Structure 1
């Protein structure tokens, strides 16, 4: 994203960085709308990452561009990825609910379930940021798992971005509708950083 122009255009009030911020928020709102059916969440976040990645290459990063790309890419694989993600979230919630009941070994189980859930979240989110996710989810997941292991700093940044988005949404509910945009921007930046390091 460092390739972005740094000078203001004539008549431009805020400059390119503020424009990127505004585009990120509009893409975030579009992503929230696209995630409402739940099964479309992975494709929606992946599309947001692709659109924001294009901003660094001087392509438009608008909600219109977002919906145009999302319409072109919705396919069976994207819905299958959404189904797997939804099943994983429900399984994780059920496991934590069982741990709260007071079964023997519940604290150790809850700790291990939280660690597995965090690792799965990092891999899933890093897969959404990969360019391969636009066409091939299995390849994106394999590359994201490799990145998660070899780039632990990037994985920590992903968890920090998720925690920040959740905290912002918890503190001020309307921010929940905008949070996917900054989250997608953070995921894209981590992926670009990981690629630059490699």
Structure 2
């Protein structure tokens, strides 16, 4: 009898969490976690590769990485992949504890040709893949907020919003909908919606 009561209680709790977005306080906390993970990932990768308090000179960003396991042909891309992986691991760990059913890392979306509704897809052509999405509980197509992580290469000081490609990317994410404007998250500026 106790086991049946426990199962019913768990079912009711599961049903109650199926039907909501994060409230404002939860969203703010989630965004604070995202920013913390991005900053930690940036500094952790920089420190592991170049030493405490050191960075790659910006002049080396387009050169081949001087490491044994190259993930990309340039330092810029290599560092970006490492920092994204570290940030995603941090976000997965922290969000899995607090918001396990309200986020997706790198979901791929497109608009259905007939209904024009946003759907998940594995098709690359005509799709978008934001870094992180907060969404309705257990429903990644009901978007709450979209986040794109951008990391500077070494000691670069460039504002990512000044890059035409980034501006275009953020406008395309806005077309997916959501309750808030898509945000860039960087270690130097934190969370930035423009």
Q: Shared topology, TM-score over 0.5?
A: no
Larger-Rg structure: 2
More helix by share: 1
More strand by share: 2
Specify which structure has the bigger relative contact order, considering alpha-carbon pairs within 8 angstroms and separated by 6 or more residues. 1
